[in-house]
Amino acid sequence: MSEEIQSQTMYWNAQANAFQSIYSHQKPGVANFLDRVFRKDMYERFAFTIDHSAPIEGRTFLDVGCGSGLYSIEFAKKGAAQVIGIDIAENMLQLCSDSATQAGVGERCRFIHTDLLEFNPNATFDVSIGIGLFDYIRDPMPVLKKMRRVTKDRVIVSFPRFWTWRAPIRKVRLTLQNCAVYFYTARRVAALMKDAGFARHTIVQVGKLHCVVGFSSESVVGGKWNTIAC
């Protein structure tokens, strides 16, 4: 395990409960209000990801950097046949397992402590997602290529935008906590998706984020392409 991954693991193990509270809104009223204002794009990317994962029912999903399991559990609740979530932080995975059980979807969710590059599934997935993942990866290319290889239909990922007011503040805050963070221009994201071998991709600006859908091939799922505004 690299030194950077070790630092990321320590950070996310310490932040697991705080991260979950952003989505569960288990904070005092003022803190919840601030989340809704300053983290609005986190909620919007959730809606984007679920919307552009359709069809969900009966299909298989890989959630890379699954965090507290929000996306994995939502896929299962919407009828996914199987969802596998992987993460490097054990505390996050415990939250995933507990939440899946509470939601009644534990039998269709499996959570694994691993890094994607060390993960060797015995089958491909219909859809893979990496949301809030590439913020913390120095070299995205091997991860994007691996996601494409293990995915039959589409990969949905997000990248934090470079030129935003929040970027330098976040950079300083996370650096002080020994957690590296990276930002991306739309041009770089487009180059990464092309070089990773996706047949085609679309990039949508969602607040301070680039939300991206990359298709593994030119095949059509469900009889038509999903319509994605660029």
Return the pLDDT at 62: 98
Residues 6+ apart with CB under 8 A from 4: 138, 180
Return the pLDDT at 39: 56
CATH number, domain of 141, equals: 3.40.50.150
Average pLDDT over residues 7-23: 82
- Residue 129 forms part of a structural domain: yes
Selection from 190, 157, 189 nearest residue 53 by Cα: 157
192 burial (CB, 10 Å; 0-12 / 13-18 / 19+) is buried
CB 67 within 8 A of CB 19: yes
Residue ranges of alpha helices (H) inside the chain are 3-24, 29-38, 40-51, 70-77, 90-102, 141-149, 166-176, 186-195
- Distance in angstroms (rounded) separating the CA atoms of residues 86 and 168: 29
CA torsion sign, 13 to 131 to 69 to 217? negative
- Residue 29 forms part of a structural domain: no
Report the mean per-residue pLDDT for the chain.
88
pLDDT category at 34 given cuts 50, 70, 90 is very low
- Residue 157 forms part of a structural domain: yes
Average pLDDT over residues 136-140: 95
- Residue 12 forms part of a structural domain: yes
Range of the domain at 64: 3-16+40-215
R_g over Cα of the chain: 17
Tally of domains within the chain: 1
Average pLDDT over residues 44-56: 96
pLDDT category at 29 given cuts 50, 70, 90 is low
- Distance in angstroms (rounded) separating the CA atoms of residues 125 and 116: 14
Return the pLDDT at 222: 46
- Residue 131 forms part of a structural domain: yes
CA torsion sign, 146 to 110 to 35 to 10? negative
- Residue 115 forms part of a structural domain: yes
57 burial (CB, 10 Å; 0-12 / 13-18 / 19+) is exposed
In DSSP terms, which residues pair with 209 in a beta bridge? 160, 206
What digits encode the pLDDT tens for the residues 68-89? 999 999 999 999 999 999 999 9
User: Where is pLDDT greater, at 30 or 185?
Assistant: 185
What digits encode the pLDDT tens for the residues 54-71? 999 999 999 999 999 999
- Residue 103 forms part of a structural domain: yes
User: Where is pLDDT greater, at 25 or 154?
Assistant: 154
Tell how strand 209-215 and strand 151-160 pair up. antiparallel
In DSSP terms, which residues pair with 120 in a beta bridge? none
